[in-house]
Chain A
Amino acid sequence: MACNSSTCQSNSGCYKREEEPISSKSSDSNQQSLCVKCKFNEPVSGTSDDGRFCRECFRSNLYGKFKLAVTSNAMITPSDNLLVAFSGGSSSRVVLQFVHEMQQRAQKNFDASKDRSLPVFGVGVTFIDESAYHSVPSSEIDKAIEDIKSIVSNLAPPAKQLHVVPIESVFSLDSLYGKERLKTLEDSVSDATGKEDLLLHLRMLALQKVASENGYNRLVLGLCTSRIACHVITATVKGQGYSLPADIQYVDARWEIPVVLPLRDCLAPELNILCHLDGLKTVEFSNGPCSGINGLVSSFVKLLQEENPSRECTIVRTAGKLTPFHFNRIPELNDSNVPLATRRRQKRFNLKPSESISSESFCPLCFSPLSKSDLLSLSSCQNYDILDAACCSSCRFQIFPKDPSSMEHFLSVLPQPLLARAKNCSNGNHSSLRKQIQDCLLSESEDET
């Protein structure tokens, strides 16, 4: 390694230069010019790092990863009604495409079957319009929404309903007032990373709201390996080692509407290539790059990935070995309407309860499960504002106002559901929270003796 600095300006000795001639040589050789899977068609360039596939094989490989994730985690059953979160990027474009294809196949089987016993799952699409947060010009957002409408309507049949929802709808107020409140909330967070993360929490709130109000029972996100790898590192850096495993599993049922991540095993470049190969249209926004911790992490992971193409997979695999939570599985169905085969499959692949952590307290803001140390720190500040006390240390640091006197104002602009969660902590569950803290303290003192 003669040079590995991002600031390196020398052209000689860089490993990238050294590698170039090798790869061009290998593509010349006869052996390499066929798809590694079917050994028949010509591969498309740059399709994959673990082999060079032809277009068909590349596609079926990627769809295969999606399907395996769906079936082995019982993400979709025939009676489900899925809401696909569509941001316009290539990951969510691919997940929409794959869900659509799966639905088409189910429809075909349904039409062909005599008794028509298996219904076809429903699919809806939602786009959360965040222009109020990012101050995107309205002409740009209008054009994007038009594009999204045409993408979704071109997918039919079966027809999919599209819900375009502004992020400020989380305040359940009229749009103008909501925008104002959103701005006030954003301005009350001083930390750049905290601002970004707050938007993430609000986005999830908005998605949950759309799903819940429109009768969906699953929320499908297009998060891919690359994004999850970044999340692993950012969560580690923010001190969220305890709650991290909750966020990176195939299934996350801590929310009212369970969230599923069927592209967890797909890399961002693969998804980009598929969009390119299949002409799947994506919608870009000029949101600007991440700043703060999130931006630093994504450029760090990008650097690592360039240096070793399997790095992101390794990161996700490592984090995958951390013990997940009890809610990281689709709740078991005892409904007799569900076919036996489906139930059996669920039982076989789902997480065993003994391998997971059960957690009863969540941060009202980011909804992370609270660790023992978070609970313990609660006990030391019981006179402090209850929401502040009951949230995780990361939110306390990067989102909450530093000055206690501005706390009341901050709370007053929070969306209702977040406040409700906090109040739930403080009223209904307060005694149980207190009991948990007591238990922690007790076991702590036992450890010491």
Chain B
Amino acid sequence: MQLTLEFGGGLELLCESVKIHKVNVDPPNGTEKFIMKDLLSWVRTNLIKERPEMFMKEDSVRPGVLVLVNDCDWELSGQLDTTLEDKDVVVFISTLHGG
């Protein structure tokens, strides 16, 4: 399925200064659903080119990074357990970089 990922607030610097990524991902072997947790590890492996610790802490995003799924706070949709669907837009914005 296709997802649109946006990085802002300085996070784009970790992926070669590209803010918007249109990507194709598939659920991990043996599962039906693709959830945020899968997306984060996918992003870490495939998009983040430097300083992954600025993006992730343990298996979630670093505290201070906002996540919006289709313009909605991911805290409302179950954070790591949020199920993603085709054409979803996921935005990551860091608040750690001053402003």
Contact = CB atoms under 8 A, between A and B. Distances in A.
Contacts of A7: 53, 57
Contacts of B57: 7
Nearest to A8: B53
A442 B17 CA distance: 58
Binding site secondary structure of chain A: loop
Nearest to A9: B53
A8 B52 CA distance: 10
Interface residues of B, number: 2
A138 B53 CA distance: 43
Interface string A1-27: 000010110000000000000000000
Contacts of A5: 53
Interface in B44-99: 53, 57
Interface in B12-47: none
Contacts of B53: 5, 7-8
A171 to B, nearest CB: 39
Interface in A265-312: none
B58 to A, nearest CB: 8
A5 B57 CA distance: 10
A298 B25 CA distance: 40
A7 B60 CA distance: 13
A2 to B, nearest CB: 12
A5 B53 CA distance: 8
B55 to A, nearest CB: 11
Nearest to A5: B53
A5 B54 CA distance: 9
A354 B23 CA distance: 68
Nearest to A7: B53
B26 to A, nearest CB: 28
A7 B54 CA distance: 9
Nearest to B56: A7
A8 B53 CA distance: 7
Nearest to B53: A7
A165 to B, nearest CB: 40
Interface in A1-57: 5, 7-8
Contacts of A8: 53
A7 B51 CA distance: 10
Nearest to B51: A5
B59 to A, nearest CB: 12
B74 to A, nearest CB: 21
A8 B50 CA distance: 12
A323 B57 CA distance: 39
Nearest to B54: A5
A8 B57 CA distance: 11
A7 B58 CA distance: 8
A5 B96 CA distance: 14
4 contacts: A5-B53, A7-B53, A7-B57, A8-B53
Interface of B: 53, 57
Q: Which 4 A-B pairs have the closest CB atoms?
A: A7-B53, A5-B53, A7-B57, A8-B53
